[in-house]
Amino acid sequence: MIKKINFIVSGFFLLWLIIAAIPPNQNNGIKASIQRGEKVYNKVCLPCHMADGGGVPNMNPPLIQTSYVLGNKTTLISIVLHGMTDRVAIDGDYYSNNMAPHNDLTDQQIADVLTFIRNSFGNKASAVIPSEVKAIRQKN
Protein backbone atom coordinates (compact mmCIF):
# COMPACT_ATOMS: atom_id res chain seq x y z
CA MET A 1 0.00 0.00 0.00
CA ILE A 2 2.70 2.44 1.03
CA LYS A 3 4.61 1.39 -2.03
CA LYS A 4 1.60 2.24 -4.19
CA ILE A 5 1.14 5.70 -2.62
CA ASN A 6 4.83 6.30 -2.97
CA PHE A 7 4.58 5.39 -6.61
CA ILE A 8 1.63 7.70 -7.23
CA VAL A 9 3.26 10.60 -5.37
CA SER A 10 6.54 10.21 -7.19
CA GLY A 11 4.56 9.97 -10.43
CA PHE A 12 2.87 13.31 -9.72
CA PHE A 13 6.19 14.78 -8.69
CA LEU A 14 7.73 13.69 -11.99
CA LEU A 15 4.84 15.17 -13.93
CA TRP A 16 5.22 18.44 -12.02
CA LEU A 17 8.92 18.45 -12.80
CA ILE A 18 8.22 18.03 -16.51
CA ILE A 19 5.56 20.75 -16.59
CA ALA A 20 7.80 23.10 -14.64
CA ALA A 21 10.64 22.46 -17.06
CA ILE A 22 8.64 23.64 -20.08
CA PRO A 23 8.51 27.40 -20.23
CA PRO A 24 4.90 28.57 -20.31
CA ASN A 25 3.32 28.60 -23.75
CA GLN A 26 6.23 26.90 -25.46
CA ASN A 27 3.93 24.73 -27.55
CA ASN A 28 1.72 27.64 -28.42
CA GLY A 29 4.89 29.60 -29.07
CA ILE A 30 6.09 27.11 -31.68
CA LYS A 31 2.68 26.98 -33.30
CA ALA A 32 2.53 30.75 -33.57
CA SER A 33 6.08 30.89 -34.86
CA ILE A 34 5.25 28.30 -37.55
CA GLN A 35 2.20 30.32 -38.56
CA ARG A 36 4.18 33.52 -38.86
CA GLY A 37 6.96 31.62 -40.60
CA GLU A 38 4.58 30.33 -43.24
CA LYS A 39 3.74 33.91 -44.21
CA VAL A 40 7.42 34.76 -44.54
CA TYR A 41 7.98 31.58 -46.55
CA ASN A 42 5.16 32.30 -48.97
CA LYS A 43 6.39 35.80 -49.59
CA VAL A 44 10.17 35.32 -49.67
CA CYS A 45 11.14 31.68 -50.23
CA LEU A 46 8.23 30.10 -52.13
CA PRO A 47 9.10 31.71 -55.49
CA CYS A 48 12.20 29.49 -55.60
CA HIS A 49 11.62 26.58 -53.25
CA MET A 50 7.97 26.18 -54.40
CA ALA A 51 4.71 25.62 -52.55
CA ASP A 52 5.51 21.98 -51.82
CA GLY A 53 9.05 22.74 -50.64
CA GLY A 54 10.15 20.53 -53.51
CA GLY A 55 12.26 23.17 -55.24
CA VAL A 56 12.97 23.10 -58.97
CA PRO A 57 15.05 20.20 -60.30
CA ASN A 58 18.66 21.22 -61.09
CA MET A 59 17.87 24.80 -60.21
CA ASN A 60 16.60 25.40 -56.67
CA PRO A 61 17.08 22.63 -54.08
CA PRO A 62 14.23 21.02 -52.17
CA LEU A 63 13.70 21.73 -48.48
CA ILE A 64 12.31 18.26 -47.88
CA GLN A 65 14.41 16.21 -45.45
CA THR A 66 17.66 17.78 -46.62
CA SER A 67 20.72 17.62 -44.39
CA TYR A 68 20.77 21.44 -44.27
CA VAL A 69 17.16 21.90 -43.18
CA LEU A 70 17.31 19.19 -40.53
CA GLY A 71 20.93 19.79 -39.58
CA ASN A 72 23.09 22.33 -37.81
CA LYS A 73 21.13 25.51 -37.00
CA THR A 74 24.16 27.76 -37.34
CA THR A 75 24.67 26.77 -40.98
CA LEU A 76 20.96 27.04 -41.69
CA ILE A 77 20.71 30.53 -40.20
CA SER A 78 23.79 31.68 -42.15
CA ILE A 79 22.28 30.43 -45.42
CA VAL A 80 19.29 32.71 -44.93
CA LEU A 81 21.40 35.64 -43.68
CA HIS A 82 24.17 35.41 -46.26
CA GLY A 83 22.58 33.51 -49.14
CA MET A 84 24.11 30.51 -50.84
CA THR A 85 26.07 30.39 -54.08
CA ASP A 86 28.52 27.63 -53.16
CA ARG A 87 27.38 25.10 -55.77
CA VAL A 88 28.13 22.30 -53.36
CA ALA A 89 26.33 18.99 -53.64
CA ILE A 90 23.13 19.12 -51.63
CA ASP A 91 22.41 15.51 -50.75
CA GLY A 92 24.11 14.40 -53.97
CA ASP A 93 22.67 16.92 -56.43
CA TYR A 94 23.80 20.31 -57.73
CA TYR A 95 21.61 23.36 -58.22
CA SER A 96 22.37 26.17 -60.61
CA ASN A 97 20.53 29.19 -59.24
CA ASN A 98 21.84 31.77 -56.77
CA MET A 99 20.16 32.31 -53.42
CA ALA A 100 20.49 35.94 -52.38
CA PRO A 101 21.18 37.02 -48.77
CA HIS A 102 18.00 37.70 -46.82
CA ASN A 103 19.55 39.84 -44.06
CA ASP A 104 16.76 42.37 -44.52
CA LEU A 105 14.51 39.97 -42.59
CA THR A 106 14.37 40.49 -38.79
CA ASP A 107 15.75 37.95 -36.30
CA GLN A 108 12.17 37.05 -35.48
CA GLN A 109 11.22 36.53 -39.16
CA ILE A 110 14.25 34.33 -39.82
CA ALA A 111 13.60 32.28 -36.69
CA ASP A 112 9.96 31.92 -37.73
CA VAL A 113 10.63 30.90 -41.32
CA LEU A 114 13.25 28.35 -40.29
CA THR A 115 10.98 26.95 -37.60
CA PHE A 116 8.32 26.71 -40.30
CA ILE A 117 10.48 24.81 -42.80
CA ARG A 118 11.85 22.54 -40.08
CA ASN A 119 8.27 21.55 -39.26
CA SER A 120 6.70 21.39 -42.73
CA PHE A 121 7.03 19.35 -45.93
CA GLY A 122 7.43 16.20 -43.81
CA ASN A 123 10.29 17.70 -41.73
CA LYS A 124 10.43 17.43 -37.95
CA ALA A 125 13.15 19.35 -36.12
CA SER A 126 13.53 21.74 -33.20
CA ALA A 127 12.52 25.38 -33.38
CA VAL A 128 14.91 28.22 -34.17
CA ILE A 129 14.65 31.19 -31.79
CA PRO A 130 15.48 34.85 -32.48
CA SER A 131 18.43 34.95 -30.06
CA GLU A 132 20.15 32.22 -32.09
CA VAL A 133 19.73 34.30 -35.25
CA LYS A 134 20.94 37.40 -33.45
CA ALA A 135 24.12 35.66 -32.25
CA ILE A 136 25.04 34.60 -35.79
CA ARG A 137 24.18 37.95 -37.34
CA GLN A 138 26.50 39.66 -34.81
CA LYS A 139 29.37 37.30 -35.51
CA ASN A 140 29.73 38.53 -39.07
Concatenate the DSSP letters of all residues of 25-51 into one string: THHHHHHHHHHHHHHHIIIIIHHHH-T
Q: Residues 34, 69, 77, 136: which binds ligand HEC (CB under 6 A)?
A: 69
Residues in contact with another protein by the rule CB under 8 A? 44, 46-48, 50-52, 54-60, 62, 83, 85, 87, 94, 96-101, 104
CB of 89 to another protein, least distance (A): 12
Angle of the 130-139 helix axis to the 107-117 helix axis, nearest 10: 120
Intra-chain end-to-end CA distance of the chain, in Å? 62
Give the whole-angstrom CA distance, residue 134 versus residue 86.
23
Q: Is 84 in the site for ligand HEC (CB under 6 A)?
A: yes
Interface with ligand HEC, residue 80, by CB under 6 A: yes
Residues in the chain: 140
Stretch that binds ligand HEC, among 5-13, 17-25, 98-106, 118-126 (CB under 6 A): 98-106
Which among ligand HEC, another protein, none contacts residue 57 (Cβ within 5 to 8 A by kind)? another protein
